[in-house]
Chains A and B, each alone.
Chain A
Amino acid sequence: MPCVADWLNNPFSIVQGIFTQNVPNSDWEKKVTEYFKEKLKENNATNWVPSLNDVPVHYLKPNSLVKFRCMVQDMFDPEFYMGVYETVDTNTNARVLHFGKYRDVAECGPQQEIDLNSSQTITSERQTFYCVPVPGESAWVKEAYISASQDRVSPSTSYTPSRHKRSYEEDEDMDLHPSKQKEQHLGNDLCGGSDIHGCVEPKRLETEASAGHHLASPNCSPPLDLNFPLPGEKGPACLVKVYESWESFKVNDVLEVYGILSVDPVLSIVNSDEREGSALDLMECMDTAEEQRVHSPPASLVPRIHVILAQKLQHINPLLPACLKEEESKTFVSNFMSELSPVRAELLGFLTHALLGDSLAAEYLILHLISTVYARRDVLPLGKFTLNLSGCPRHSAFTEHVYRIIQQLVPASHRLQMTIENMNHSRLIPHKDYAANRLVSGVLQLASNTSLVIDETQLEQGQLDTTGVHNVTALGNLITWQKVDYDFSYHQMEFPCNINVLITSEGRSLLPSDCQVHLQPQLIPPNMEEYMNSLLTAVLPSVLNKFRIYLSLLRLLDYSISDEVTKAVEEDFVEMRKSDPESITADDLHRTLLVARFLSLSAGQTTLSRERWLRAKQLEALRKGRLQQQKCVNGNEL
Chain B
Amino acid sequence: MSSPASTPSRRRSKRGRGSNPSTPQDARSPPSQKRRTEDSTSTGDLQPMPTSPPADVQSPGAADALFSSPPQFRHSAIPLDFDISSPLTYGTPSSRVEGTPRSGIRGTPVRQRPDLGSVCKARQVDLHSDGPTEDVTTEQSLGQRLVIWGTDVNVASCKEKFQRFLQRFIDPIAKEDEDVGLNLNEPRYMQRLEEINIVGEPFLNVNCDHLRSFDENLYRQLICYPQEVIPTFDMAVNEIFFDRYPDSILEHQIQVRPYNALKTRNMRSLNPEDIDQLITINGMVIRTSQLMPEMQEAFFKCQVCSYTTRVEIDRGRIAEPSVCKNCNTTHSMALIHNRSMFSDKQLIKLQESPEDMPPGQTPHTVVLFAHNDLVDKVQPGDRVNVTGIYRAVPIRVNPRVSSVKSVYKTHIDVIHYRKTDSKRLHGVDEETEQKIFTEERVKMLKELSEKTDIYERLSSALAPSIYEHEDIKKGILLQLFGGSRKDFTHTGRGNFRAEINILLCGDPGTSKSQLLQYVYNLVPRGQYTSGRGSSAVGLTAYVMKDPETRQLVLQTGALVLSDNGICCIDEFDKMNESTRSVLHEVMEQQTLSIAKAGIICQLNARTSILAAANPIESQWNPKKTTIENIQLPHTLLSRFDLIFLMLDPRDEAYDRRLARHLVSLYYHSEEKMEEEYMDMAVLRDYIAYARGYVAPRLGEEASQALIEAYVDMRKIGSGRGMVSAYPRQLESLIRLAEAHAKVRFSEKVETVDVEEAKRLHREALKQSATDPRTGIVDISILTTGMSATARKRREELAQALRKLIQSKGKAPSLKYQQLFEDLRAQSDAAITKEMFEEALRALADDDFLTVTGKTVRLL
CB of A495 closer than 8 Å to a CB of B: yes
Which of B363, B411, B517, B673 lies in contact with A488, CB distance below 8 A? B363
A-B contact pairs, 11 of them (CB 8 A): A75-B361, A75-B362, A77-B366, A82-B408, A115-B11, A123-B39, A123-B275, A435-B287, A437-B365, A586-B509, A586-B658
A→B interface (CB under 8 Å): 74-75, 77-82, 85, 88, 90, 93, 100, 103-108, 110, 112-125, 247, 250-253, 266-267, 269-270, 274, 277-278, 280-287, 375-380, 382, 432, 434-435, 437, 439, 469, 473, 480-481, 488, 490-491, 493-496, 559-561, 566, 569-570, 572-574, 577-578, 581, 585-587, 589-590, 593-594, 597, 608
Question: Provided the pairs A437-B349, A569-B663 are in contact, do residues A113 and B48 lie with their beta carbons within 8 angstroms?
Answer: yes
Interface size class of B (residues with CB under 8 A): 35 or more
Question: Provided the pairs A77-B365, A105-B403 are in contact, do residues A578 and B410 lie with their beta carbons within 8 angstroms?
Answer: no
Other A-B pairs, 19, CB within 8 Å; known A80-B272, A379-B514: A79-B408, A81-B407, A100-B406, A113-B50, A120-B16, A123-B15, A252-B360, A266-B401, A274-B398, A277-B399, A282-B294, A282-B345, A379-B521, A566-B664, A581-B650, A585-B509, A586-B658, A589-B662, A597-B666
How far, in whole Å, are A593 and B667 apart by their CA atoms in the complex? 10
- A593 contacts B666, C-beta separation under 8 Å: yes
CB of B60 closer than 8 Å to a CB of A: no
CB of B367 closer than 8 Å to a CB of A: yes
Question: Provided the pairs A377-B676, A589-B659 are in contact, do residues A247 and B358 lie with their beta carbons within 8 angstroms?
Answer: yes
- B275 contacts A80, C-beta separation under 8 Å: yes
- B271 contacts A251, C-beta separation under 8 Å: no
How close is A458's CB to chain B, nearest CB, in angstroms?
Answer: 24
B403: chain A residues within 8 A (beta carbon): 105-108, 114, 266
How far, in whole Å, are A74 and B411 apart by their CA atoms in the complex? 21
How far, in whole Å, are A435 and B287 apart by their CA atoms in the complex? 8
A488: chain B residues within 8 A (beta carbon): 354, 363
- A81 contacts B284, C-beta separation under 8 Å: no
How far, in whole Å, are A490 and B513 apart by their CA atoms in the complex? 24
- B13 contacts A274, C-beta separation under 8 Å: no
How far, in whole Å, are A445 and B46 apart by their CA atoms in the complex? 42
Which of B349, B358, B467, B680 lies in contact with A586, CB distance below 8 A? B467
- A377 contacts B665, C-beta separation under 8 Å: yes
- B395 contacts A116, C-beta separation under 8 Å: no
- B37 contacts A77, C-beta separation under 8 Å: no
CB of B392 closer than 8 Å to a CB of A: yes
How close is A605's CB to chain B, nearest CB, in angstroms?
Answer: 13
How far, in whole Å, are A140 and B233 apart by their CA atoms in the complex? 69
A577: chain B residues within 8 A (beta carbon): 650, 652, 655
CB of B435 closer than 8 Å to a CB of A: no
- B666 contacts A382, C-beta separation under 8 Å: yes
How far, in whole Å, are A77 and B286 apart by their CA atoms in the complex? 15
Question: Provided the pairs A123-B15, A125-B271, A573-B659 are in contact, do residues A74 and B404 lie with their beta carbons within 8 angstroms?
Answer: no
A250: chain B residues within 8 A (beta carbon): 359-361
- B397 contacts A266, C-beta separation under 8 Å: yes
Q: Which 7 A/B pairs are nearest by Cβ-Cβ distance?
A: A250-B360, A113-B48, A377-B465, A106-B406, A573-B659, A119-B13, A123-B272
Which of A282, A382, A572 lies in contact with B665, CB distance below 8 A? A382
How close is A560's CB to chain B, nearest CB, in angstroms?
Answer: 5
Question: Provided the pairs A80-B392, A274-B399, A379-B517 are in contact, do residues A103 and B406 lie with their beta carbons within 8 angstroms?
Answer: yes
A113: chain B residues within 8 A (beta carbon): 48, 50, 402
CB of B100 closer than 8 Å to a CB of A: no
B41: chain A residues within 8 A (beta carbon): 116-117
Which of A115, A480, A570 lies in contact with B48, CB distance below 8 A? A115
How close is B675's CB to chain A, nearest CB, in angstroms?
Answer: 12
B39: chain A residues within 8 A (beta carbon): 116-117, 121, 123
* SS of A interface (majority): mixed
B385-413 near A? 1/0 per residue, CB < 8 Å: 00000001111011101111111111100
- A280 contacts B272, C-beta separation under 8 Å: no
Question: Provided the pairs A104-B406, A105-B404, A270-B398 are in contact, do residues A473 and B364 lie with their beta carbons within 8 angstroms?
Answer: no
A269: chain B residues within 8 A (beta carbon): 397-398
CB of B381 closer than 8 Å to a CB of A: yes
- A574 contacts B655, C-beta separation under 8 Å: yes
B640-682 near A? 1/0 per residue, CB < 8 Å: 0000000010101001101110111111101001001000100
B317: chain A residues within 8 A (beta carbon): 280
A480: chain B residues within 8 A (beta carbon): 513
CB of B43 closer than 8 Å to a CB of A: yes
CB of B463 closer than 8 Å to a CB of A: yes
Docked complex: B349-383 residues within 8 A CB-CB of A: 349, 354, 357-367, 380-381
Question: Provided the pairs A283-B395, A569-B663 are in contact, do residues A496 and B360 lie with their beta carbons within 8 angstroms?
Answer: yes
Q: Which residue of B lies closest to A249 (CB)?
A: B361
B631: chain A residues within 8 A (beta carbon): none
- B514 contacts A251, C-beta separation under 8 Å: no
A105: chain B residues within 8 A (beta carbon): 397, 403-406
CB of B12 closer than 8 Å to a CB of A: yes
- B364 contacts A574, C-beta separation under 8 Å: no
Docked complex: B233-250 residues within 8 A CB-CB of A: none
How far, in whole Å, are A124 and B530 apart by their CA atoms in the complex? 46
How far, in whole Å, are A31 and B667 apart by their CA atoms in the complex? 42
Docked complex: B656-711 residues within 8 A CB-CB of A: 656, 658-660, 662-668, 670, 673, 676, 680
Question: Provided the pairs A82-B406, A274-B398, A570-B663 are in contact, do residues A117 and B362 lie with their beta carbons within 8 angstroms?
Answer: no
Q: Which residue of B lies closest to A128 (CB)?
A: B407
How far, in whole Å, are A496 and B521 apart by their CA atoms in the complex? 13
How close is B708's CB to chain A, nearest CB, in angstroms?
Answer: 39
CB of B817 closer than 8 Å to a CB of A: no
A78, A473, A559 — which one has the most chain B CB atoms within 10 A of its CB?
A: A78
How far, in whole Å, are A495 and B463 apart by their CA atoms in the complex? 20
- B16 contacts A376, C-beta separation under 8 Å: no
Q: Which residue of B lies closest to A79 (CB)?
A: B407
Which of B11, B366, B380, B665 lies in contact with A119, CB distance below 8 A? B11
How far, in whole Å, are A572 and B652 apart by their CA atoms in the complex? 11
- A380 contacts B48, C-beta separation under 8 Å: no
A81: chain B residues within 8 A (beta carbon): 406-408
B518: chain A residues within 8 A (beta carbon): 378-379
Which of B118, B463, B465, B676 lies in contact with A282, CB distance below 8 A? B118
How far, in whole Å, are A473 and B514 apart by their CA atoms in the complex? 16
CB of B316 closer than 8 Å to a CB of A: yes
How close is A112's CB to chain B, nearest CB, in angstroms?
Answer: 7
CB of B533 closer than 8 Å to a CB of A: yes
How close is B526's CB to chain A, nearest CB, in angstroms?
Answer: 12
How far, in whole Å, are A114 and B50 apart by their CA atoms in the complex? 10
CB of B347 closer than 8 Å to a CB of A: yes
B655: chain A residues within 8 A (beta carbon): 573-574, 577
B286: chain A residues within 8 A (beta carbon): 434, 490
A252, A437, A559 — which one has the most chain B CB atoms within 10 A of its CB?
A: A437
Docked complex: B266-308 residues within 8 A CB-CB of A: 270-272, 275, 284, 286-287, 294
How far, in whole Å, are A125 and B407 apart by their CA atoms in the complex? 9
- B316 contacts A282, C-beta separation under 8 Å: yes
A118: chain B residues within 8 A (beta carbon): 11, 13
- A116 contacts B394, C-beta separation under 8 Å: yes
- B407 contacts A80, C-beta separation under 8 Å: yes
Which of A278, A473, A572, A573 lies in contact with B533, CB distance below 8 A? A473
- B408 contacts A90, C-beta separation under 8 Å: no
B272, B275, B509 — which one has the most chain A CB atoms within 10 A of its CB?
A: B272
How close is B173's CB to chain A, nearest CB, in angstroms?
Answer: 33
B665: chain A residues within 8 A (beta carbon): 377, 382
- B393 contacts A283, C-beta separation under 8 Å: yes
- B652 contacts A578, C-beta separation under 8 Å: yes
How close is B518's CB to chain A, nearest CB, in angstroms?
Answer: 5
How close is B534's CB to chain A, nearest CB, in angstroms?
Answer: 11
Q: Which residue of B lies closest to A377 (CB)?
A: B465
B410: chain A residues within 8 A (beta carbon): 80
Q: Which residue of A lies closest to B367 (CB)?
A: A286
A251: chain B residues within 8 A (beta carbon): 360-362
How close is B647's CB to chain A, nearest CB, in angstroms?
Answer: 11
